[in-house]
Structure 1
């Protein structure tokens, strides 16, 4: 018995010897005697893991579903930890290992009954809490009683399943759901019952469940229908579309529903419940069809209005004016409604963000703050709210509304809609739980979680996303603000390029344009853009090169590399490369995991991208090819070392990541060496 699980250790049972591997909490932080909590496998029914307080269930994991334990969504971080579940005639157990052997990790059952996943940080010599379970209010065992789902993002969290109603309506109204729910209509069995599909669920308690690993999901349904006591069924293994069969023969308890993840559970209901549900779905479809027809009419009307307005706009000799979008506030609203974006009501967005509370704020920029939110259906969103006093933000908003809705690529962020109501103007994006790239690579605690293999995949994803903008989309887009904080990471750590407020559309064979209003971020701007206002696909390539070197090194381009204030990451990388010491650029946290040839190839590509003369830099098509193939590459020439002048101590806007974003400055404020 111990309170700690290390990589390679087992939690489970040995059927031959009767040995039971489990964790026991300490009596107190200073007393290692057995405490009142234990964490062990329950092999009755379908095996699952339980945290016990004496003989009382405190938390239940759910069974293994072929990829992870169904009630532990933290296992989705499969790029960091590798979990193994073994069930055979000799033993049944689960254990974990870290993909990156330099990560020191352990699981501890603490005195309060929580299981902590801890990782060791050499930088500050301490254990860091990576995640804990139970962690949310729905994690406690049986929070909502029988035949009810617990939704962590709902208030109140308990909801009866389809075809069920509260057992005690008064207690339910007072937000006490422990009595659970009962059927509205009695099952008729031979006369015909059916099943309602509950998605993204943690499987109910499998204590009294029966498992058939050989049955298909259809066979599972047929078998359950034949048995009048069968209340639900699901796949035993979610791989390959689902296989095996789990059937429940009693009350369903401890059901939790996630916004994503989990698996499908089929709940038995009376045929009359299914019929009422079909009528409701039919009504919803009719409403949807009517809405679409009205939307098409509105779209055509708005398009006609925009076309008439466009004919009245006078031409301009300024290339910048030809490629920026200028509207007054009425035009903005018409343009947004005429775009391909759904419109969200203000009350819906306000409710999702807890009325734009400071606790929900993720960050911000020249346009205004960004908030995290959750819609009533559990969908997590990021809300980009236009600041009422930001002229820059207003122009960015107009540009992004009409641009990003036209772009679709797995390495670009997905926009879900917008909100324009009164003085409020907002863009709604899918929320990225892993936040942005800078949140990982510039933090001593989190950068150790990204080994070289993961970073290389991120580099390739960003490169393909920029190539799509430059060449493969129906528009030729120059991003103009490519940086670590504008690269978001989804649940699978796939990079998504975001923030198209400064992006510009190029026509036909146009290769460059110029502006007298230089906007972007210090450290990522090419010298020709900073000095002369010239931007092109090659200025984006420069920004990509800076970003690539930052991913390899783990520090910002404008970070400190010596006592010389002009010594930025580009100069540091160049000096190491000239002396054949390129590997010294690699982040120390991933040295053991990197491929020497691959890293050196990436450093060379990065230096090719940051060369001083734009004509020497490769296109993004060449960048993708060089990164993906072990081929002969040109020798990099002298890079550009962009630095900031101290202009009467006038600082630019500083965002939350520490990068300095130019908030409409004159091009004379920058110089290159």
Structure 2
């Protein structure tokens, strides 16, 4: 019996230890999943309560009431108006407008965000005086015939019929009707008083005719508390742009509005929902509004939500970001972030000033006094304070000695700050969600314990020097003797040293998981996945080596690029792709899963593209039939979106430098994904061009300023895109056009046809009747503009998108392209003099003096 009990105790101890390791390994992912689970439970509760309501139509007439057991539903069942509590445990209710019959619906409008009603005693009524108001059936203010809790709107005494109607747009209006039932006048509408959600048809701006009434959004205080929070989204009439402010300070601006592309400079493009903006300006009002083509596109509803931490995103479907003001206080060069000293971290000497949400507690260190533990309190006078985590974080960031903060109340409200005399201890056994916020440079390790360091679990690559093959790997190291603690350890590896760590200390059948879902694969796992690099698994061969198809034990299909041992620049390309993967995440860029190093071999592991590369279809007489005009134009659009992201919307401005048909991969739906970033270069946001002595890329796709003088910029990619687009239109390679007396490249051939008014003769015969001839000629025009001789005159990718999609936009006439006739000669700088190295058609990995 004793032995059995001992075995059970040992099993329990091992089980608990394993659970701790799982929790430590996953860190915040565990907390995020828990929060998400609680949010879903709350949403399901709301859905359950809403489903049991009596549907009383879309209209309240004089004398009608709406209570906690009934709901208004718009005519086409798109929106509903009803009283709801914020979660199953709340005693108070609010009058909300939200999507009808959607379980996780966002509460798009709140009537009484400052005046909650004790549940279930709230009542909305349109009384005999034509006043729309919220009252309570319980004694006290707002009960019976006394003063209402909230007056929404009123209509002067009139002989006309007065009603309150919930529209399919989500707008709740109080209106007078004509005898035929049409609207005579709208006296009040919810769209004039938005809360934290911006619906199509709403306005952001100012109404000069109504005492300067402002249309703007104000965030909630927290997920369950609709009290006005710290962030607002409004329209700046002076700068003609959107602004997100935190407690009055501008955190983010949208930048200028481009009428031709219908885009704001710093609004993150949405790949699934297309927003159409309209700006109205007259003597009475100035505002911005937006619409979408349909209410539901690809399972996505248009519904902008300003979160309580400053994040602006479209709530439904993929929750795609629109603006990230929540990142603007973390020394991050985000799109549209304002360089205001009030927003930046004052402790610039420290590395990493983000705050991490954790479960645990603060307490004094053994060698410190308790006089500064806690540090100090802020605005904790009552539980209805609308102080939020963003306010607390902003205050803590201003004091270099502030270790972190937590809250005193459940909402949460009221900050309690902790100094560096304290220490934070994680405790995963605490009930509820994580409620402490700890600065990323902490916690401190205890001097009394020496943890045993095992192989690292999570790493981030950081480039040290471009010309040096060493790079740094920042790793999260697990402390096996302190299962409730973990610290960051900084390790610096060269490529061979990194191989030794991966080869000697990691189980051959396991993966070493890194940041951004990037993994270090063991050599054995790659050999097994590719059947020892079997010839039948070979997908092709590029300038840096062969590519193989593989299948992991998990069933996931991969593509393995095995860098050639003979490639002098293979290591540089390998390193460059690893660094860039942390900056580039876009639907039109191929995804890198990880890498493998084995002795002298280096391998990159990508997502598998079942339809290979674009050149496989484009330049094959049989396969080319599968690319009709609709598909080709879709591929062109996808490539432009990917390049636009690289040049403008990624966190780092990137020039690809080797865009061509073989570097555009096609997924199962024939959507394009740009690949091979080994030659790419990162620009700072202030750099316009770079001059280099190393010429890399593919001859025929290089612009003259780069091939002859080593000058490259985003306009270099525009040139390559122009050549590629002409290849897509013609179905022929760049160097396959000739006439009787001279050699022509594709750009030269297209120019000759365009000059003679015969642009349609460039069309691939495989297109047949599927081709839209006007659209085709427009593409030829844009392609020729992109391959122009003067880089300054080439359009940007955002202008290219406008030219391709806005058919009413007049296009400039192209000029004679560079490298139009004769043999294409490429030179590089050797000893200060140009040297002829090669002709068109060859991939160059490196051209520099030896």
Q: Could you tell me the TM-score, scaled by structure 1's length? A: 0.49
Find the structure with the greater CA-based Rg. Answer: 2
Higher helix share: 1
| Greater relative CO (CA pairs within 8 A, separation 6+) | 1
Q: Could you tell me the TM-score, scaled by structure 2's length? A: 0.39
